[in-house]
Structure 1
Amino acid sequence: MRFALLRHDAAITSALARQVARRGRDLPTVLVALPVLALFARSWLGELPAERREVILVIAAFLIAAALARALVGRLEYHRTEGALAHFAQRSTDAVGYVLPPLLVGLAVLLASVRGLGGLMGTSTVIGIVAGVIVGLIAAALRLRLAWLATGLVPRGKHVMEGSHLLPLAAASSGLVGLVCALLPSETYLAAMVAGGYALMVALLAGQVDAAVVRYMAMVGRSAADLLRRWLPLQLALLVPAAAVLALSQSGVAAGIAALAAFGLPAFTILRVLAYRAFDRMPADWLVTIIVAITAYLMLSLPPLGPLAILAAMVWLARRGRGARWLIA
């Protein structure tokens, strides 16, 4: 087993860390914002009842483990298709040597973080993390298969995000999904599961934002509005009709899941696009993660402040990214 892919990405990570360390505005953000956020989360969790605290930490561990596994598989797919070391990425032993060590290290850090935030190393935490890894791997494989299928269905020369002729079909399909969920028995959680599965599929197919594409389009003179028109219309067409149908049918949990997806995915996409215009990919991802965490806390403690925090972050990122065309200025 060779570790060429792992050494390659470790060198990239080291270079990015040195780059962040040299920047006067980025290093304080990492050294101050993250510890303050951790202390803030620990203080808030400490005030909750023990059972609720454990539930929140298990859910958070599940989501983080799923995101980590999905990100590693996605990075491996990049190495197989576009990376400079594609020869190594095609080998199954090298692929395992690339995915397994970072996954184990990440899970160890996650367990330590859960313990540091006041959680217990119980069976529920371990099950949540293992389930998150499994779901992340399945989601990554499903995204690749669905992306391949969508590429085959789109006419040659047309990008799935740019095919405006697909929007009416997407909206009709979304409304049909909402109608099916509304007709399912209300005494079970089947409607909520279908709505959640549909939202996940939309996020996998239409929720990907390529930082390199955003930076290139910004540098050649495309405005933030032009960038958002590339990603948002399809997301809204796939999510809003289903949420509207379920809201009108008063379907309870399913309507809440659909509404959360219809608001959350476009908002998350806007934050990522604006952040990628203003910062490099890794600092932008960290910044968006911090913004989402703060917003989630505000939604739980002071709900009216959550949307205001999102809007304030969008305005700040939009202003910060106005100078993104410096390469051709």
Structure 2
Amino acid sequence: MMNKNKSVTLIIRSGEYFIYNSKEFDFFNISYCPEFDPNDFFAAARLLYQMSYSTEIKNLEQYVEILYKNEYRELLKVVIQGEIIKSTKDEKIILIDFSLDLGFKSDIVPHILSGKEKQQQERKRFALVITEPQYYDKYVNIMEALHLGIYKEVNEDWEVYLAIENQYPDLENLHGIVITGSTSTAFDMSENWKEPLVNFLREADKRQIKMVGICFGHQILAHCLGGEARKMTFVPHMQVGRLSLLTGLNFGEFQIKNLNVYQIHGDYVFELPKNSELLLSAPHCQNYAFKSNHLLGLQFHPEFNPIILIYFFWDLNNENLKETYLKECYESFKKGEDHQLAIWAYILNFLKNQ
């Protein structure tokens, strides 16, 4: 049975003073519940926001509004730049240096932080390649928090690069790459940042560096490595919400027959890349996930949750589409339970040979 409670310890350090917060967060069984965000980076930023502005976030709609505020995004950046002292499937300890008037000297906190001194010296390098053209307009810091909150662990260096600025990591001694989703299309090469991205991915593929492609990342990996991505002309609009998939995949300790995933996409992989195998199919999309010895492509979003999906549609200018998408999301959230913990474990096992 899946452990649905994750113990998150948040330590906010201000000089020799600490604010110490530790509680059980209901991260994974999200039955449209606004109390806690399933991503602990967002929960940490929310706590900082509440403390800094003496406010309380009481419902989901209020929280979505907070996500759009520049003040929240600045706090989220602080959390991203914080340090993960410990990270396991059951516990995460985050240390943040932040100036607050409140605080106290603690005997507990130094004891928790003492484990930091015992960390191994050798650190592995990973890269998060962000492929969103609207990054600066809408998603600044949010994409880092969504992904690093899942993948970043102790003794790892995660470097963040913006493909829209032609930023890419040195492939030497790089252990793995995550390619994000995007509002752009994988098969439209007219945008000037696409060709450098394709060249980078092909070179990483030649070196057989582990790569995980999410949505657009899944499509661009297929499209540039012998497969093909296309627009879903056979559906009336983007496919959104939480979707249940029949799966025969092995999720270790998690026994899952119908895997629940979060999706938002209008394009799909028509043909798989060379030397890959099909992992998952959906009613509207046969090539929903694929795998090879060093590639993992996922059409769905392992970093998403109900709050984030609603956030994406909250300020749509097209009121009819907004109403359609929000209705479909709300309806889908009522069915089943959240399986992100099992999905994260599967990805981490692939990316880091755990």
What is the TM-score with the length of structure 2 in the denominator? 0.27
Q: More strand per residue: 1 or 2? A: 2
- With structure 1 as the length reference, what TM-score do the two structures score? 0.29
Q: Which structure shows the higher helix fraction?
A: 1
